[in-house]
Amino acid sequence: MANFAKNFGFYCFSKLITSKMPTEDYLLKYLEKLSRVIAAMLGFRDSGFPEDALKMADSTYRELLNFDLKELSIEPTEKFIETVRKANYSASILDLLVQLTYETANALEQNHQSAEANGFYEKTLELYRLLNEKDKTFSFEREMRIGEIKQKLL
């Protein structure tokens, strides 16, 4: 996981360098892609296909972070958050990473993988704390989700 920030930063940097479009367009497309992945995961999970949501999460984590779902599930939360903090992501990217992690936890829970789900819920909760540090705008939805996750972890 130590290479998380380095690999992700290199990936984004190389895409920006090789891209013909302006940086803003690339970042917008990047954020849109992550949003579509999260929506698809939610659709799979809500349709009763958590395995498909987990496959999508796995491929997304591989593409974006160079880690698979199994590696991330055993990564200690503190180390994961430290790596994310060092990467200094924007609030927009952090928000999507929070959503991806939350949907992964939900899919794991629906797939009867409680221990792994709890690990991802813990990561999600810590990502929300980090997002609250970055984005000073109060979000009722965010606070509701934090409360929901805390209840799940009791």
N-to-C CA span, the chain: 27
The Cα–Cα gap between 88 and 17 comes to 20
How confident is the model at residue 14, as a pLDDT?
Answer: 40
pLDDT of residue 24: 66
Cβ–Cβ under 8 Å, residues 76 and 122:
no
- Kindly list the distances between the CA atom of residue 48 and the CA atoms of 1, 41, 44, in Å, as whole numbers in the listed order: 31, 11, 6
Say what the pTM is.
Answer: 0.80
Dihedral, CA of residue 22, residue 86, residue 68 and residue 100, to nearest 10? -70
Nearest to 107 by CA among 53, 149, 145: 53
pLDDT in 10s for each residue of the chain, 154 residues: 444 444 444 444 344 434 444 566 777 887 888 899 999 999 998 999 999 999 999 998 888 777 889 999 999 999 989 988 888 888 998 999 999 999 999 999 999 999 999 999 999 999 999 999 999 899 999 999 999 999 999 9
For position 61, what pLDDT does the model report?
A: 84
Q: What is the pLDDT of residue 11?
A: 47
Question: What pLDDT is stored for residue 67 in this prediction?
Answer: 80
Residue 7: the pLDDT is: 46
**83-88, Cβ contacts within 8 angstroms, sequence gap of 24 or more:** 83/1, 83/2, 83/4, 83/5, 84/4, 84/5, 84/127, 84/130, 85/130, 86/5, 87/4, 87/5, 87/8, 87/9
